[in-house]
Amino acid sequence: MENTNAIGAERSFTDEFEEITGINNKRTRKIAAEKFETAAEKLHKGHKALNRTLGGGFLLVLLAVILAALAMRQFIFEPTLVDGESMENNLMNGERVAVSKAAYWFHEPQRGDIVIVHYPGRQGRFVKRIIAFGGETISIRQGYVLIDGKPLDESAYAGDWYGRITRLIDTKGNKNGEYTVPDGYVFVMGDNRNVSHDSRAIDVGPIANEQVLGKAFAVIWPVSGIRGIK
């Protein structure tokens, strides 16, 4: 029975082969059909090998993309959550900002930059604005921030607190509300001046330069709120 089935299968294949090629000599037709089958098998095996090669290549590409994304997040760019009301009305609670960790690789931070910082002795990261640098004396008088006795122009980003700041400087080491920032540190505040817990507080104080993690440059979430940061 097995031989009969095999012969039947061969006849069926060779009959079809004859119809396609026009070869009607039995011996020639059989040889050609066998060669055709052998070539088809090689092509099929090659196709499997090609699939394996492509599959392996895809995995390598995928791994490279993942590693690049992790490296970018670790060293160059990272989204950060705005948690709380201390930066209103420029940054709102629940928004996510894009932070460039490479921003200060080639130049120093600038006054007015919105940055991500670590507070001394505390977990988490905080979004604040740089107000003063090492060697400068900061104070608050008549509702305005003064740097070395001169009013700081904050009109570009000020809210309704401008000229009405009531939370004064209580930083450890202040003298009658005046505080000189140590070298190698920055003094940061939140834009919502009468709400923000920042360098004015005795339990925060100035931020070491190495604890400035990066510069926020855009709001990236929610989509409806995408915008640059001033």
Please tell me the total number of residues recorded for the chain in this structure.
Answer: 230
Q: How far is CA 147 from the centre of its chain?
A: 34
86 noted as active-site residue: yes
Beta-carbon contacts of 99 under 8 Å, excluding residues fewer than 6 positions away, are 77, 78, 79, 80, 116, 213, 214, 215, 216, 217
| Contact predicate 194/167, CB 8 Å | yes
What SS3 state is found at 138?
strand
Q: How far is CA 169 from the centre of its chain?
A: 34
The whole-angstrom separation of Cα 60 and Cα 40 is 30
Pick the catalytic residue from 128, 196, 199, 215: 128
Instruction: State the maximum Cα–Cα separation within the chain, in Å, rounded to a whole number.
Output: 113
Pick the catalytic residue from 30, 86, 172, 224: 86
42 noted as active-site residue: no
Residues designated catalytic = 86, 128
